[in-house]
Amino acid sequence: MSPRNSASEDPTPDVYVGLLFVAVGALITGCIFLALELSSYGWQFN
Amino acid sequence: MSYVGKILVIVQVVLSLLFMTFAGGVYAVHQNWKKKFDASQEQLAIVKKNLETLQEEALNANREFETKLADATAQAEKAQADNIGLIAKVADLTQKNALLTTQRATQTGLAEAKGVEARFRQEEAEKQRIENGKLQAKINELAAENRELNDQIFSKDVAYKTLNSAYERGLSQLAYLTEVVTKHGLETDPEVVQRMKSPPPPVEGLVIHLRKNKAGRVQYVEISIGSDDGLVKGNELDVVRTFGSEDRSEWLGRIRVADLGPDWAVAEVILPSKNGIIQEGDNVTTKLGI
């Protein structure tokens, strides 16, 4: 995303920024589940 | 933010939530195949171990079975041999059984006959028992009579002893008197004495020998008849001599028998005739009886 007016003015966080944090949390949680799943197999893939 | 950016943010959020949901679902409901594999491997090892044990046991059992089979085969052969012997014995026993059956039939017949005989004997025994009772009563009567007779026998025995002692005394007295009589030259035989009392039998004989005394007279004569003709001591006979036709005879004397035998006798001349002399060959007779 390119700045719209000037570089000194910070954009105001909106609901979409919050949704991005939610997406980050969901990705981290999914990664933890997958890591736990792999740990139960001893991190062996074949 | 452009409209496309907003849509991408929403899509990213939705996809992230779906990713989290699927990862959580997989973690929550998945099955741990590795653990199952390990458990299966352990169970497989146990099963293999059990299989080896069972194979070893089966091998041992097979050996034992072969040994038992060999023993059983030997026993079967022995049993077969025994069976042949037993078959022969069975045949023999069957023959014996037939013989015994025949004997049993015979013995049964005999036993039935014996039973009939036993019944007859029992009936007879009952009759004999009744007769025995009667005989017992009679025995009692006879025993009482026997006691009375025993008493009588005792009395008679006492009397007999008394008489026997008297008889013994009589015998000794008789012996003494016989000795005295014999010493005096008298006859002791009662039969001879009885004959002496009775007249002599009518017999005739001959003078066969003479003996004379010192004076030359005939004293003893031996005659041809004796005790077989009925003479006894003391009998008196007449001596006669017949002439020719026997119509005329001469009396020569009288003699008395002093000793005699079965067919001879010696007599003493007790009354000689004055007209004649006794000679050998003269007749003697008891028929005159003078």
Q: Which chain B residue has the Cα nearest residue A17?
A: B9
pLDDT digits (tens, 9 = 90+) for B66-90: 999 999 999 999 999 999 999 999 9
Pairwise CA distance, residues B42 & B37, whole Å: 9
CB atoms within 10 A of CB B13: 19
Find how far residue B36's CA is from the centre of its chain.
106
User: Touching check for A23 and chain B: CB below 8 Å?
Assistant: yes
Query: Which residue would you say has higher pLDDT here, B243 or B27?
Result: B27
Q: Which chain B residue has the Cα nearest residue A28?
A: B20
Alpha carbon distances (Å) from B18 to B15, B21, B25, B123, B221: 5, 5, 10, 127, 206
Q: Which CATH number fits domain B200-285: 3.30.70.2740, 3.40.605.10, 2.40.30.230, 3.30.1010.10?
A: 2.40.30.230
Q: Which chain A residue has the Cα nearest residue B2?
A: A1
pLDDT digits (tens, 9 = 90+) for B165-191: 999 999 999 999 989 988 887 777 777
Strands (E), B5-44: none
pLDDT above 90: residue B33:
no
Residues of A in contact with B7 (CB under 8 A): none
Closest by Cβ to B23, choosing from A20, A22, A34: A34
Find how far residue B227's CA is from the centre of its chain.
59
User: Touching check for A19 and chain B: CB below 8 Å?
Assistant: yes
User: Touching check for B9 and chain A: CB below 8 Å?
Assistant: yes
pLDDT digits (tens, 9 = 90+) for B231-277: 888 888 999 988 766 677 888 899 999 888 999 999 999 988 888 88
What percent of chain A has a predicted confidence (pLDDT) above 90? 41
- What are the boundaries of each domain within chain B? 200-285
Mean residue pLDDT across chain B: 90
- Quote the minimal CA–CA distance from B28 to chain A in Å: 9
Residues of B in contact with A27 (CB under 8 A): 16, 19-20
Q: Given this model, what pLDDT does residue B30 score?
A: 81
Q: Given this model, what pLDDT does residue B198 score?
A: 76
Pairwise CA distance, residues B176 & B115, whole Å: 77
pLDDT digits (tens, 9 = 90+) for B90-128: 999 999 999 999 999 999 999 999 999 999 999 999 999
Q: Residue A8 — very low, low, confident or very high, per pLDDT cuts 50/70/90?
A: low
Q: Given this model, what pLDDT does residue B199 score?
A: 77
> So what's the ipTM on this one?
0.75
Q: Given this model, what pLDDT does residue B213 score?
A: 87
Q: Given this model, what pLDDT does residue B69 score?
A: 95
Instruction: Using alpha carbons only, give the angle B76, B80, B85 rounded to the nearest 5 degrees.
Output: 145
Q: Quick check: B20 and A26 CB within 8 A?
A: yes
Residues of A in contact with B17 (CB under 8 A): 22-23, 26
Beta strand B236-243 pairing with B283-285: antiparallel
Contact status, residue B241 vs residue B207, Cβ threshold 8 Å: no
Residues of A in contact with B26 (CB under 8 A): 33-34, 37
Q: Given this model, what pLDDT does residue A42 score?
A: 83
